């Protein structure tokens, strides 16, 4: 049990450090091996790795990207242009438990042709030849948990520091034979469940017979 708590604490520390040192700047780094810890033959590769890690373009921040215009019209009506080039949140957060998400946005409006394909080519769809389409542009980004409180089951508690759903610590996680712990439901369940004949049901207490 002590080891489990220690691992949990280590994981919380890693996530906290990534968010604290990165946050709105796009992700921080914990202590990494130094060049002296690698072999001499890796010197060139080591330098390349260092340069790649210093590349600010990989950080979590707004970056220009092709974004499809939302089309409210039913198929086969098309919008031209189909995409616009605006800023969207993208980049790494130095933890697999974090993702780069927008924390400040602005709605931008773009003109687009609504057209419908015909046997002779394309024609304008409806009376409004040029439609104004709204798209959300990301202005500021931050590394946040991929797993959020709304992802937890009713019996789970959300640990924001570790970015995970977990069962209350006061529950006994030890299960009798034939049963295993279900972390999602926070209870012991039968390891194997058998299908019973009509009119009978599987005994979830003994996990061994139909009643």
How does pLDDT run across 11-39, given as a tens digit for each residue?
666 666 566 555 544 444 556 666 666 66
Q: Are residues 85 and 109 in the same domain?
A: yes
Domain that holds residue 70: 61-118+127-146
**What's the CA gap between 187 and 175, in Å, rounded?**
9
Q: Band the pLDDT of 40: cuts 50, 70, 90.
A: low
Which of 33, 9, 61 minimizes the C-alpha distance to 166?
9
Cβ-based burial of 141 (10 A; exposed 0-12, middle 13-18, buried ≥19) = buried
Map tokens 């039913």 to a residue: 74
Q: Are residues 108 and 131 in the same domain?
A: yes
- Of 101-110, 122-131, 146-155, least confident by mean pLDDT is 122-131
Q: Are residues 95 and 77 in the same domain?
A: yes
Q: Are residues 102 and 160 in the same domain?
A: no
- Of 5-14, 48-57, 119-128, least confident by mean pLDDT is 5-14
Provide mean pLDDT across the span 167-183: 91
Q: Are residues 139 and 177 in the same domain?
A: no
Residue at 32 is within a domain: no
Residue at 160 is within a domain: yes
**pLDDT at residue 74, rounded to an integer:** 76
Output 50 or 200, whichever has higher pLDDT. 200
Residue at 105 is within a domain: yes
Domain count, the chain: 2
Provide mean pLDDT across the span 70-83: 87
Q: Is residue 194's pLDDT more than 50?
A: yes
**Is residue 148 classed as helix, strand or coil in its secondary structure?**
coil
Q: Band the pLDDT of 149: cuts 50, 70, 90.
A: very high
CATH of the domain at 131: 2.10.90.10
CA dist list (Å): 116 to 74, 78, 79, 135: 10, 6, 9, 22
Map tokens 């209870």 to a residue: 187
Residue at 14 is within a domain: no
Q: Are residues 140 and 166 in the same domain?
A: no
Which of 66, 64, 70, 65 minimizes the C-alpha distance to 112?
70
Beta-carbon-side half-sphere exposure of residue 145 (alpha carbons within 13 Å): 19
């Amino acid at each position: 049990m002590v080891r489990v708590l220690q691992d949990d604490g280590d994981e919380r520390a890693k996530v906290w450090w990534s968010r604290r040192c990165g946050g709105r700047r796009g992700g921080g780094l914990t202590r990494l091996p130094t060049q002296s810890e690698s072999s001499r033959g890796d010197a060139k590769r080591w330098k390349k790795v260092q340069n790649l890690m210093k590349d600010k373009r990989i950080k979590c921040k707004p970056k220009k990207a092709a974004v499809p215009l939302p089309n409210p019209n039913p198929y086969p009506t098309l919008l031209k242009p189909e995409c616009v080039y605006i800023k969207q949140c993208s980049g790494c957060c130095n933890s697999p438990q974090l993702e780069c998400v927008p924390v400040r946005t602005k709605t931008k409006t773009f003109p687009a042709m609504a057209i419908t394909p015909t046997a002779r080519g394309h024609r304008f769809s409806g009376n409004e030849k040029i439609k104004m389409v709204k798209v959300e542009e990301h202005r500021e980004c931050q590394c946040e948990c991929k797993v959020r409180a709304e992802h937890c089951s009713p019996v789970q508690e959300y640990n924001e520091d570790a970015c995970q759903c977990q069962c209350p610590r006061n529950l006994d996680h030890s299960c009798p034979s034939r049963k295993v712990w279900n972390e999602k439901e926070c209870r012991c369940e039968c390891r194997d469940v058998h299908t019973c004949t009509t009119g009978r049901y599987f005994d979830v207490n003994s996990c061994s017979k139909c009643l």
